[in-house]
A = this chain, B = another copy of it.
Amino acid sequence: MVQIPNTPTSADVARLAGVSRATVSYVLNNTSAVRISEPTRRRVHEAARELGYVPHAAARSLRAGHSRMVLMPAPAIPVGPLYSGFLNELQWALGRLDYTVVQYGTVGLQGDEAARAWAELRPVAVLVPGAELGPRGVGVLKRSGARAVVTLGPERVEGAHALLMDHDAVGQCAGAHLYARGRRRIGVVVPEESGLEAYSRPRLAGVRQALHGTDATVTGLPLAYTEESAAQLAARWRESGLDAVFAYNDEYAMLLMRALQDAGVRVPEDVALIGADDLMLGRLLRPRLSTVHIELPSGRDLAELVDRAVRDPGGEPEVHKVLGASVVQRESS
């Protein structure tokens, strides 16, 4: 008869060590309320090692009534070095506080659907970037035991803590800068790629805010991330009469700069150009690209906010504005 290698449970460990399951639990969890003799401890550890015992997280949190899982939806779009670094720091900091960070691959699930799927995992906290969550979603999560729901996005959501990453500020920075440089007919690139609206809309709005009440005009410029699209935009440039452009971010800025230069439009003489995100590539362009440097909150601070919220779930939702934006002027503006 073939023995199928079933995955060992704490009962197996107990049997092998010749003790009860309770004792195994005490030993492996270092329960301080109970004192177990040294020889017994050793036998238990030995048995666990020999069997390759790994505790069953689901069973544990079922029994405990709560988990230490912090859930985030996995980003669907490639994420830049800035945000990636932020995520790493956050994961590290939460790890230090003994939380487990899990990114949930939410594909094609919309709004409350997604919230329900997340809730099935009974996370102790949920961090949601962008605007993927409404008040009802927050309700679902909280009723399922999430002790903290934090949104990282443009606006706060009822019932949830919020790290307001207000991309208006990025546009305001750029707009004010271009105005200060004497430009009055200002274009703002709006990527046609989907998934970017959450950032592009407020960035455009920010430029409008900064220039409201002045003699400057603001024009949205739809642009796909392709050479053709950029070439078309550049071909119509002179008739547009624009003398400055905020290019959404450094990558779109590079695309547009190249197209403009190929079309004989000079940067910055004919048109001032500024990007955002302060990527390395901006420094490598000629002329060097001006950009809006963005400062994200520290992952450690967010981790502490989460921990605070988990410990005091009744507390008032905290709302922090956390997006710092400042112009780095180089040669293109």
Within 8 Å CB of A74, what residues of B? Answer: 74, 87, 91, 101, 103
Q: Is the CB of B144 within 8 A of A7?
A: yes
Residue A280 CB within 8 A of the other chain: yes
Residue A62 CB within 8 A of the other chain: yes
The count of chain A contact residues (Cβ–Cβ below 8 Å) is: 57
Within 8 Å CB of A94, what residues of B? Answer: 105
**Number of copies of chain A assembled together:** 2
Residue A145 CB within 8 A of the other chain: yes
| Cα-based distance from A76 to B91 in the complex (angstroms) | 10
Residue A1 CB within 8 A of the other chain: no
Distance (Å) between the CB of A231 and the closest chain B CB? 12
Within 8 Å CB of A54, what residues of B? Answer: 116, 119-120, 140, 143-144
Within 8 Å CB of A258, what residues of B? Answer: 284
Name the segment of A77-85, A157-165, A232-240 touching the other chain: A77-85
List the B residue with the shortest CB-CB distance to A75.
Answer: B84
Within 8 Å CB of A104, what residues of B? Answer: 100-103
Within 8 Å CB of A8, what residues of B? Answer: 143
Residue A5 CB within 8 A of the other chain: yes
- Beyond A54-B116, A92-B108, list 16 extra A-B contacts (CB 8 Å): A5-B143, A52-B139, A54-B144, A55-B120, A56-B62, A58-B59, A58-B61, A58-B67, A58-B122, A74-B91, A78-B85, A91-B107, A94-B105, A101-B104, A102-B105, A225-B280
Q: Is the CB of A7 within 8 A of B145?
A: yes
Residue A57 CB within 8 A of the other chain: yes
Residue A283 CB within 8 A of the other chain: yes
CB interface residues, A 103-117, toward B, < 8 Å:
103-105, 107-108, 116-117
List the B residue with the shortest CB-CB distance to A84.
Answer: B78
Distance (Å) between the CB of A147 and the closest chain B CB? 11
Q: Is the CB of B52 within 8 A of A58?
A: no
Q: Is the CB of A105 within 8 A of B105?
A: no
Within 8 Å CB of A254, what residues of B? Answer: 281, 284
